[in-house]
Amino acid sequence: MIKIGIVGGTGYTGVELLRLLAPHPALEVKVITSRGEAGRAVAELFPNLRGHLDLCFSEPDSKQLAACDLVFFATPNGTAMQLVPELLAAGTRVIDLAADFRLSDPDEWAKWYGMPHACPNLLAEAVYGLPEINRDRIKSALLVANPGCYPTAVTLGFMPLLEAGLVDASRLIADAKSGVSGAGRTAGVAALMGECGESFKAYAVPGHRHLPEISQSLGRITGDPVGLTFVPHLLPMIRGIHATLYAEVNDKSVDLQKLFETRYENEPFVDLLPAGAHPETRSVRGVNSCRIAVHRPQGGNTVVVLSVIDNLVKGAAGQAVQNMNLMFGLEERTGLNGIALLP
């Protein structure tokens, strides 16, 4: 059995990770850390885990964590980079669900996250954990940077077009919407029901922290910097991301439906819908799937790609489990075969 440790298991990403790991047949969760909840039963804080996980939160202990085969960090940005070097030195593999190792440039990281990077020497070693791009590298990785939720939905939507060189990569637009769980479990006025209920707004238009991550991913596909306008929005719902993506096609004779079908036909967690479809966020609630539909309205030059994920699953914890399966030679779908919740 794979011995698993989790650092920071008290947020929405943490409980989602526990929900997926508890019934996983190939592992055992050995330790879950939380300074604020140390000594408290996990199932007391998260009653959905009652009867599935008999474990208490504990203070972070580097020796306990180093005894694990793999440690997940479900912590705020800036935490993992303080502990990861010690774990890697002990031979423990790491998946970080925060942003500490997503950007390859430490100066760019400091610019967007407001602090110097604690171990910039590890940025080149970290593998960006989007399996649809880096599957082979993830298998042998010691350190995986789990992608952000917006970057997952946007990158998977644009990728076939950019790989084929079919669109103007200098004029990409990503209009994306997220449920409030994307803001985390920490109390905040903006996430109160009285503030966000029955309302809809854009935010961080001048620049969102996921912008450099998305631009980096798309630039790696094209081999050159891209021009991306990224506008996130807050929706009055709990889970889900809907990304509406726009690009200008340079060859209208290409069958875009066939292009996407070919690119994703062997991807277990990308579901290309039939021509003319409109994916809904509720269709992926609770599962590790990205559903995509591609359109070219009125047969014009503009391509519109619709991409939906559950921000807590394919956008976070589910993708982390997918990466873990790859790292330990397990079948990629192991523990991730659930069916979305409806209604």
Which DSSP string corresponds to 323-339? HHHHHTT--TTTT----
Backbone phi, then psi, for 216, in 5-degree steps? -65, -45
Which of 134, 342, 162, 157 is closest to 250 using CA atoms?
Answer: 162
196 catalytic per annotation: no
Tokens 């807590």 -> residue: 312
- Of these residues, 68, 149, 196, 290, which one is catalytic? 149
Is-contact 129 147, C-beta < 8 A?
A: yes
Backbone phi, then psi, for 41, in 5-degree steps? -65, 135
Element (H, E) at 174: strand 172-178
190-202 in b/e form (b: 16+ CB < 10 A) is ebeeeebeeeeee
Tell me the three state secondary structure of residue 70. Answer: strand
Structure-token pair, residue 21: 């790991």
- The vertex-262 CA angle with 259 and 265, nearest 5°, equals 140
DSSP code for 215 = H
Q: How big is the chain, counted in residues? A: 343
Q: What is the largest CA-CA distance in the chain?
A: 63
Going from the C-alpha of 29 to that of each of 18, 130, 145, 274, the distances in angstroms are 8, 24, 20, 40
Q: What amino acid positions are annotated as catalytic residues? A: 149
